[in-house]
Amino acid sequence: MSAVDWSRLQFATTSIYHFLFVPLTIGLAFLTAILQTVWYRKGHPEHLRLTRFFGTLLVINVAVGVVTGLVQEFQFGMNWSSYSRFVGDVFGAPLAMEGLAAFFLESVFLGLWLFGWDRLSRRVHLATIWAVAVGGALSAAFIMAANSWMQRPVGYQLNAAGDRAQLTDVWAVLTNIVFAWAYLHVLAASLVTAGVVMLAVSAWQLRRGATLFQHSAKLAVIVLIPAAMLALFFGGRLGINETKYQPMKIAAAEGQWTTCQPCSFSVFQIGGGNNDQTPTKIIAIPHLLSVLATGTWNGQVVGLSELQTQYSQQYGPGNYVPNVFIQYWSMRVMAYGGVVLLLLGLWGAWLVWRKRLADAKWFVRVAVWAIPVPFVMNTAGWALTENGRQPWIVQGLQLVRDAVSPSVSVATVVTSLTVFVLLYATLGVVDVLLMARFARRELAPTDVAAQEEQPALHFTY
Amino acid sequence: MSLVSFWFIVLVVLWTGFLVLEGFDFGVGMLSGVVGRDDQGRALALQTIGPLWDGNEVWLIVAGAGTFAAFPGWYATMFSGFYLAMVLLLVALILRGLSFEFAGRRDGRRWRRAWSAATTYGSLLVPLLIGVALGNLLHGVPIGADQEYAGNFVDLLNPYSLFCGLTLVLLCLLHGASFLALRTSGEVRGRALGVGRRIALPAAAAVVGFVIWTQALAGDGSPLSLLPGGVAVVAALVAAWQVGRGRDGLAFAATAVTMAATVVTLFVALYPRVMVSTQGAANDLTVTNTASSPYTLRVMTVTAAILFPVVLAYQGWTYYVFRRRVGGTDTTVADSTAGPAPGAR
């Protein structure tokens, strides 16, 4: 394996790991803020207890998300210095804006929220958790703007030497249509993630008779249903735009080698990797791929083979087909998972409506085990979007193999990858143990709220 | 003033802000085991930075991202060239950051000990590595005509850069001790004062040595190049005289100014270069040959002009909210002397 391959492996590993924490942070910050708002307006102590309970999970999770985010920021320069030189003019700006507009907001106000329970008025303290939530959502906006530019570069022009992309229109970068749908999709997915986690934890607690958690289960269900529907809808809109700007990505997601019109969608298929252009489609749904990819009943989807010929003519000889297996299955994992979670939400809503949630044995059992689903889906989503961009690092402008740091050797990257993998594995175990410990913690039946409002001298957060 | 010079100044401000603010966090982290002898004492010492450190660290993130945006060539060469040092720095930042969060979440001696070690050694390693890295910008590293780093890890370990690392660690210790004295009371404050008195002289001596060495390495003797060094020396002497003597506000102001002036000294000696090449001055990276286009710099200027004052306002407010001394009953003493970090912003 070359330095490019190792660098890719490292970036993929650390990004996927980082993104296990990010969506939960973004979503859970909003759900915690909602719980605290309900407490602020109604004054029932149970909402305060739930706020603090889920706030603790949020804080543990934020910590890992923040420190693993540092690795991401450093890696552009460390491993992809040629990329950084080529696109820094365009790509650096949103990252700097993210720091100024979002990270300060999130970090400073999280400190105020954690330590400010007895120092701030209730109203101001409520505002701090909302500031944390807004900060998280804003940071995703800037990073998605930067990422969307890699999928569909806009608002730039190449310099005379052709070795640098220079920003000419920042507004175009921030209104990129791919960015709009991708960002909304990520926000909805974050709420789905947090909704499922809150539902699963509440279900676990309900199984043990902690009826207090009916409130949080109800909130989780109320958020989960629209969030899952929106995530599917926004993802669909994003797909249609990708068909326009990255047709290879969508054709590979269906394993569609030949051009078709109208195009059917296979529920699953056997075979059909990069070396097998005649997969056996099982249960083909007519017209569905046309609808998903183009938004029309009879839309045309250009096949991989034709795109490959086209790209070879346009950009020179080379293999422009991404890994089809990853594309095909990551798309399905995400879509099927989304539907499953939506059904779970609807099941929960029905039980809430019939006021039978607390004693719905099967529902709480299933809900507890639903916890890994959104994380698998989030990972699949990134696999779909980033693997589908290959072999480009910036679609049509720079290949991944031209983006790597020329001064960094294979041995160096292998060293750093080993360090990160060992460190991340350890932290993963620690984090899961801590999250599980706090998620399963019993709340004392009375007076906890009053006690918790006075933080002890030692670490209270 | 040209836009590229303005952005160099912005980055100096970000580095200065980061080291003045997070500098005392590093000091508190390193000293937490010394001034707080048991778990309770340690936790008390760390409580002084609990609500603040995360926001302080964002200054580093913004300095990094700001370099990427304004000087992509500098960012690309520095981060790829210092690769293994950056990996170490990341590991230290990760373990240290998590230690604040995780240490108190479980009982058990081994758990606490492990995270205490992460706090202490992480807080030591980060300023050491950053000091060495910044020192290398000025000392020079092998950089070819293609702006790519042409050296290896060992090239980073030259005497000047190591001395910069040592100076920064000592300065963080002194800054942390004066911050602890300002923000605690009782026994912990007493021990912080004692530590401060012991570190004051070596730290001041290191700053004087740093200023002289830097002048010898890169100074041109002009008033502008001598000014920050002079301020650093004077402030270091005031700090050496005042830290541990009971006038906590003055002592903290002195260590904050020393830190700021020390950082500025290095960057003033560096300008207009951003990374010196040991392979000839023609290969030096400068503000002009690494900068983004004027349009990007203008966009970033407008963004910073709008957002930066807002950030300063709410971060300053945080310092005001948490101005009281921790851990004691005599909060009246605190309110008379403890303001938000003076000179810090």
pLDDT, tens digit, 9 for 90 and up, residues B249-259: 999 999 999 99
Q: What is the pLDDT of residue A392?
A: 94
User: In whole angstroms, what is the distance from residue A108 CA to residue A123 CA?
Assistant: 17
Q: Which residues of B touch A166 (CB under 8 A)?
A: 292-293, 295-296
Interval B210-234 mean pLDDT: 89
How far is C-alpha B127 from the geometric centre of its chain's CA atoms? 7
Interval B286-313 mean pLDDT: 93
Q: Looking at the partner chain, which of A92, A108, A423 has a beta carbon nearest the beta carbon of B318?
A: A108
Q: Does the structure show a pLDDT above 60 at A226?
A: yes
Q: Which residues of A touch B97 (CB under 8 A)?
A: 63, 66-67
Q: Do A423 and B299 touch (CB under 8 A)?
A: no
Q: Are A148 and A246 within 8 A, CB to CB? A: no
Q: What is the pLDDT of residue A394?
A: 93
Greater model confidence, B125 or B226: B125
Residue B334 pLDDT level (bands cut at 50, 70, 90): very low
State the burial class of residue B297 (Cβ atoms within 10 Å of its Cβ: 0-12, 13-18, 19+): buried
User: In whole angstroms, what is the distance from residue A212 CA to residue A449 CA?
Assistant: 13
User: In whole angstroms, what is the distance from residue A309 CA to residue A321 CA?
Assistant: 10
Q: What is the pLDDT of residue A13?
A: 94
Q: What is the pLDDT of residue B136?
A: 95
Structure tokens at A216: 């949080």
Interval B106-130 mean pLDDT: 91
Q: Does the structure show a pLDDT above 90 at B244?
A: no
Chain A residue at shortest CA distance from B149: A407
Q: Does the structure show a pLDDT above 70 at A460?
A: no
Q: Are B246 and B297 within 8 A, CB to CB? A: no
- A68 — contact with chain B (CB < 8 Å)? yes
CATH class of domain segment(s) B3-337: mainly alpha
Q: What is the pLDDT of residue B343?
A: 32
Listed by number, the residues of chain A in 325-364 with a beta carbon closer than 8 Å to a beta carbon of chain B are none
Residues 6+ apart with CB under 8 A from A353: none
Q: Do A91 and B68 touch (CB under 8 A)?
A: yes
- A108 — contact with chain B (CB < 8 Å)? yes
Q: What is the pLDDT of residue B6?
A: 94
Q: Which of A269, A266, A272, A259 is nearest to A287 (CA)?
A: A266
Q: What is the pLDDT of residue A294?
A: 87
Q: Are B39 and A458 within 8 A, CB to CB? A: yes
Q: Do B47 and A457 touch (CB under 8 A)?
A: yes
Mean pLDDT computed over every residue of chain A: 89
Q: Does the structure show a pLDDT above 70 at A450?
A: no
* CA atoms within a 13 Å half-sphere pointing along the CA-CB vector of B34: 20
Residue B328 pLDDT level (bands cut at 50, 70, 90): low
Residue linked to tokens 């998903």: A292
Q: Which residues of B touch A95 (CB under 8 A)?
A: 65, 68-69
Q: Cα-atom radius of gyration of chain B, to the nearest Å?
A: 20
Identify any residues that bridge with A166 across adjacent strands, giving them in sequence order.
A157
- A407 — contact with chain B (CB < 8 Å)? yes
Residue linked to tokens 């909060």: B331
- A58 — contact with chain B (CB < 8 Å)? no
Q: Do A66 and B307 touch (CB under 8 A)?
A: no
User: In whole angstroms, what is the distance from residue B251 CA to residue B182 CA?
Assistant: 9
Q: What is the pLDDT of residues A390-448, one digit of tens each?
A: 899 999 889 999 999 999 999 999 999 999 999 999 999 998 888 888 888 877 554 44
Q: What is the pLDDT of residues B129-139, one digit of tens each?
A: 999 999 999 99
Mean pLDDT computed over every residue of chain B: 89
Q: Which residues of A touch B50 (CB under 8 A)?
A: 111, 114-115, 459, 461
Q: Which of B121, B186, B106 is nearest to A458 (CA)?
A: B106
Structure tokens at A318: 């080379």
Q: Which of B169, B167, B176 is nearest to B196 (CA)?
A: B176
Q: What is the pLDDT of residues A165-212, one digit of tens each?
A: 999 999 999 999 999 999 999 999 999 999 999 999 999 888 888 888
Q: Do A70 and B68 touch (CB under 8 A)?
A: no
Q: What is the pLDDT of residue A444?
A: 53
Residues 6+ apart with CB under 8 A from B185: B325, B326, B327, B328, B329, B330, B331, B333, B334
Q: Which of A316, A262, A271 is nearest to A289 (CA)?
A: A262
How far is C-alpha A306 from the geometric centre of its chain's CA atoms? 32
Q: Are A242 and A301 within 8 A, CB to CB? A: no
Q: Which of A194, A234, A220, A227 is nearest to A374 (CA)?
A: A194
How far is C-alpha A199 from the geometric centre of its chain's CA atoms? 19
CA angle A149, A154, A159 (to 5 degrees): 105
Q: Which residues of B touch A103 (CB under 8 A)?
A: 58, 61-62
Min Cα distance B31 → chain A (Å) is 17
Q: What is the pLDDT of residue B333?
A: 36
Residue A281 pLDDT level (bands cut at 50, 70, 90): confident
Min Cα distance B156 → chain A (Å) is 15
- Select from B83, B99, B187 the residue whose CB has the most chain A CBs within 10 Å, as the one to mutate to test that interface: B83
Residue B236 pLDDT level (bands cut at 50, 70, 90): very high
User: How many residue pairs bridge chain A and chain B with CB atoms within 8 Å of each other?
Assistant: 228
Q: Does the structure show a pLDDT above 80 at A272?
A: no
Distances (CA, A) of B181 to A181, B186, B322: 52, 10, 15
What single string gives the DSSP state of each residue in B274-326?
EE-BTT-GGG-EETTTT---HHHHHHHHHHHHHHHHHHHHHHHHHHHHT-SPB
Interval A298-320 mean pLDDT: 90
Q: Do A423 and B322 touch (CB under 8 A)?
A: no
User: In whole angstroms, what is the distance from residue A189 CA to residue A229 CA?
Assistant: 10
Listed by number, the residues of chain A in 81-100 with a beta carbon closer than 8 Å to a beta carbon of chain B are 81-82, 84-85, 87-93, 95-100
Chain A residue at shortest CA distance from B44: A458
Q: What is the pLDDT of residues B142-162, one digit of tens each?
A: 999 999 998 888 899 999 999
Q: What is the pLDDT of residue B33?
A: 86
Q: Do A419 and B91 touch (CB under 8 A)?
A: yes
Chain A residue at shortest CA distance from B153: A412
Give me the sign of the Cα torsion angle A168, A170, A176, A178.
positive
Q: Looking at the partner chain, which of B58, B70, B81 has a beta carbon nearest the beta carbon of A407?
A: B81
Q: Does the structure show a pLDDT above 80 at B341?
A: no
Q: Looking at the partner chain, which of A68, A88, A170 has a beta carbon nearest the beta carbon of B75?
A: A88
**Where do the domains of chain B lie?**
3-337
Q: Does the structure show a pLDDT above 90 at A364?
A: no
Listed by number, the residues of chain A in 175-214 with a beta carbon closer than 8 Å to a beta carbon of chain B are none
State the burial class of residue B107 (Cβ atoms within 10 Å of its Cβ: 0-12, 13-18, 19+): exposed
Q: Looking at the partner chain, which of A76, A79, A119 has a beta carbon nearest the beta carbon of B321?
A: A119
Q: Looking at the partner chain, which of B46, B54, B94 has a beta carbon nearest the beta carbon of A111?
A: B54
Chain B residue at shortest CA distance from A75: B79
Q: Do A89 and B72 touch (CB under 8 A)?
A: yes
Number of C-beta neighbours around residue A43 at 10 A = 10
Q: Which of B264, B252, B267, B265 is nearest to B344 (CA)?
A: B252
Q: Does the structure show a pLDDT above 60 at A158?
A: yes
- Where b means 16+ CB within 10 Å and e means fewer, A318-347 reads eebbbebbbbbbbbbbbbebbeebbebbeb
Q: Are A60 and A435 within 8 A, CB to CB? A: yes
- A414 — contact with chain B (CB < 8 Å)? no
Interval B117-142 mean pLDDT: 95
Q: Looking at the partner chain, which of B58, B314, B327 has a beta carbon nearest the beta carbon of A99?
A: B58
Distances (CA, A) of B243 to A20, A221, B127, B175, B228: 45, 57, 21, 9, 21
Q: Looking at the partner chain, which of A166, A408, A423 has a beta carbon nearest the beta carbon of B94?
A: A423
Terminal Cα distance for chain A, rounded: 44
Q: Are A170 and B293 within 8 A, CB to CB? A: no
Q: What is the pLDDT of residue A225?
A: 94
* CA atoms within a 13 Å half-sphere pointing along the CA-CB vector of B61: 27
User: In whole angstroms, what is the distance from residue B329 CA to residue B234 CA?
Assistant: 36
Q: Do A77 and B78 touch (CB under 8 A)?
A: yes
Q: Do A77 and B93 touch (CB under 8 A)?
A: no
Q: Which of A41, A66, A57, A214 is nearest to A126 (CA)?
A: A41
Q: Do B58 and A63 touch (CB under 8 A)?
A: no
Q: Which of A170, A326, A164, A340 is nearest to A249 (CA)?
A: A326
User: In whole angstroms, what is the distance from residue B60 CA to residue A153 CA?
Assistant: 28
Residues 6+ apart with CB under 8 A from B336: none
Interval A359-382 mean pLDDT: 91
